Amino acid sequence: MSLTTVGVVGAGTMGNGIAQVCASAGLTVKLLDVSREMLDKALASIEKNLGRRALEPAHKLAVLARIELSTDYGCLQDAGMVIEAATEQLALKQEVLQRVAQYVSPQCVIATNTSSLSITQLAAKLPLPERFIGVHFFNPVPVMQLIEVVRGLRTNDQAYAQVVALAERLNKVTITSTNRPGFVVNRILVPMINEAVLVYQEGIASAEDIDSAMVLGCNQPLGPLALADLIGLDTVLAILKSLYDGFNDSKYRPAPLLKELVAAGDLGRKTGRGFHAYD
Ligand code: NAD
């Protein structure tokens, strides 16, 4: 049966981007969050993003009309797939996923956009772990082409095929990863960001110069500290912790300054301040 309705749980940075690309591909989207305020912000942000693209007003309205906002898990009952994009905390995600599983049909694929948690561990508390899979979008979702598809120990081939088919429908490119901390991209990227924080913390160069160095010297589109601000410093720290714990290797220890900034609530663009300041 072809997919018509997708549930997206969590309407923050990633959830609103996922909702936008799914609705743009013609899918009905049920966007769920605990916070009404986040849902309203998400819709405003999607509207703004669509406004930047050369779309007919009627097309834009049709995309927006396909997105239903809700704080009630009951809205997920018709979904053929649910993509969880809630806050990156194990206990919170386990609870959210268990609630999702109570409402959806046994055929529904439940996917998580986690950056750092184990797909196998999240699956273990679900009634149908074989229908559970990692679908790791990148930020900003409407712009970034890649989706990492992450198979847990018990993920079955149908769930995998359905996620790959969704990615094709969204015009994204997939790579497949085994369930290991950081999967592929973050395993390589986040230690590089952490090293940039250590260089900054040691006073070797300013944040602007560190970013310029990697943009102009390595052809990176965005410097590592600016990228950390875009991802969210709390998310970067969570990924480092999972690499550190997952591999028991001190090379992944988070830079103390990163921990300090997160403790201060300076999480990057989403709070207006991180390594750089934002309006
Ligand atoms: P965010 O903080 O912007 O948004 C999280 C949202 O989850 C918030 O709107 C919050 O209200 C909602 N939420 C919290 N508890 C909930 C619950 N019980 N039920 C429903 N909604 C709930 O976070 P984000 O950056 O969008 O990250 C979401 C997920 O995507 C995380 O797993 C993160 O690791 C992953 N991710 C983030 C990035 C990135 O660059 N930010 C990239 C790839 C993957």
Q: Is 171 a catalytic residue?
A: no
Using DSSP's 3-state secondary structure scheme, residue 110 falls into: strand
Which of 89, 83, 145 lies closest to 116, judged by CA? 89
Give the residue-averaged pLDDT of 186-203.
Answer: 98
* Cβ atoms of 122 and 133 closer than 8 Å: no
pLDDT band at 173 (very low <50, low <70, confident <90, very high): very high
Ligand 1 centroid – CA 56 distance (Å): 30
69 lines ligand 1 (CB under 6 A): no
Q: 49, 84, 113, 148: which is the annotated catalytic residue?
A: 148
Give the chain's mean pLDDT: 96
Per-residue pLDDT tens over the stretch 212-250: 999 999 999 999 999 999 999 999 999 999 999 999 999
% the chain with pLDDT above 70: 100
Atom of ligand 1 lying closest to residue 95 CA: 18
Residue 98 has pLDDT above 70, yes or no: yes
242 lines ligand 1 (CB under 6 A): no
Give the residue-averaged pLDDT of 140-150.
Answer: 97
Give the residue-averaged pLDDT of 181-200.
Answer: 97
Q: Would you kindly state where each structural domain of the chain is located, as residue ranges?
A: 5-178, 187-269
One DSSP character per residue, 31-77 reads EE-S-HHHHHHHHHHHHHHHHTS---HHHHHHHHHTEEEES-GGGGT
Atom of ligand 1 lying closest to residue 38 CA: 9
Helices (H), 83-149: 90-103, 119-124
Q: Known binder of ligand: residue 259?
A: no
**Count of CB atoms within 10 A of residue 108's CB?**
24
The residue to which tokens 């082409």 are assigned: 145
pTM here?
Answer: 0.91
Q: Report the number of secondary-structure helices (H) and strands (E) in the chain.
A: 11, 8
Q: 16, 24, 115, 116: which is the annotated catalytic residue?
A: 115
Per-residue pLDDT tens over the stretch 5-63: 999 999 999 999 999 999 999 999 999 999 999 999 999 999 999 988 878 889 999 99
Residue 273 has pLDDT above 70, yes or no: yes
Q: Known binder of ligand: residue 12?
A: yes
Give the residue-averaged pLDDT of 113-139.
Answer: 96
Q: Known binder of ligand: residue 93?
A: yes
CA 213 – CA 246 distance, rounded (Å): 31
pLDDT value at position 56? Answer: 86
* Cβ atoms of 135 and 111 closer than 8 Å: yes
What residues pair up with 112 in beta bridges, in sequence order? Answer: 84, 134
Residue 1 has pLDDT above 70, yes or no: no
pLDDT value at position 57? Answer: 85
Q: Known binder of ligand: residue 14?
A: yes
What token pair was written down for 40?
């309203």
Q: Is 212 a catalytic residue?
A: no
Half-sphere exposure of 96 (CA within 13 A, CB side): 26
CA 121 – CA 114 distance, rounded (Å): 12
Find the angle CA(137)-CA(142)-CA(146) to the nearest 5 degrees: 40
139 lines ligand 1 (CB under 6 A): yes
pLDDT value at position 114? Answer: 95
Topology (CATH level 3) of domain 5-178: Rossmann fold (3.40.50)
Q: 116, 186, 194, 242: which is the annotated catalytic residue?
A: 186
- Domain 187-269 is classified in which CATH homologous superfamily? N-(1-d-carboxylethyl)-l-norvaline Dehydrogenase; domain 2 (1.10.1040.10)
pLDDT value at position 54? Answer: 79
89 lines ligand 1 (CB under 6 A): no
| CA distance readout (Å), 178 to 21, 157, 209, 248 | 25, 14, 36, 18
122 lines ligand 1 (CB under 6 A): no
Give the residue-averaged pLDDT of 77-90.
Answer: 96
Atom of ligand 1 lying closest to residue 35 CA: 11
Give the residue-averaged pLDDT of 259-267.
Answer: 98
